[in-house]
């Protein structure tokens, strides 16, 4: 496994169809084996009415099998995940803590 316990990740689940819900997950790995990780954190979904990603309130644990539908970005360990937000403009989509961490995921801005 290339990921380790304690690492923080931003996970994008690729959609099969344009109408599929756009889902991301931001959290910390609490267990991993093979290509499967257990991550504790928050789900983020695209709200079509607001035109932006919104965080689900409740913290959850998710078991994710890394594969072709999953894109996992590593977040630096010093980042406080409760400070991470999505910042969108007409051309960009950035995941940021408003300090030192900025992850440009603009290539997924229009991905459904």
**Residue 3 maps to a domain:** no
Among 46, 42, 50, 44, which residue's Cα sits nearest to residue 110? 46
Q: Cα dist. 78→6, 13, 56, 86, 95 in Å? A: 11, 24, 23, 18, 15
Find the mean pLDDT for residues 92-111: 85
Task: Compute the radius of gyration of the chain from its Cα atoms.
Answer: 14
pLDDT band at 32 (very low <50, low <70, confident <90, very high): very high
Q: Is residue 95 part of a domain?
A: yes
Number of structural domains in the chain: 1
What phi and psi values does residue 108 have, to the nearest 5 degrees?
Answer: -105, 5
pLDDT for 112: 42
The pLDDT, as a whole number, for residue 23 is 87
Residue 2 inside a domain? The answer is no
Confidence (pTM): 0.88
Count each helix (H run) and each strand (E run) in the chain, helices first. 0, 9
Residue 74 is assigned to a structural domain of this protein: yes
Residue 65's domain comprises: 8-108
Mean pLDDT of all residues in 66-86 = 93
């Amino acid at each position: 496994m290339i990921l380790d316990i304690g690492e923080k990740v931003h996970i994008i689940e690729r959609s099969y169809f344009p109408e599929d819900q756009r889902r991301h997950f931001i959290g910390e790995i609490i267990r991993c084996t093979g290509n499967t990780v257990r991550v504790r954190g928050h789900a983020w979904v695209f709200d079509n009415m607001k035109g932006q990603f919104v965080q689900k309130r409740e913290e959850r644990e998710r078991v994710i099998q890394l594969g072709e539908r999953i894109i996992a970005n590593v977040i630096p360990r010093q980042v406080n995940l409760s400070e991470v937000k999505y910042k969108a403009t007409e051309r960009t989509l950035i995941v940021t803590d408003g300090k030192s961490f900025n992850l440009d995921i603009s290539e997924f801005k229009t991905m459904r």
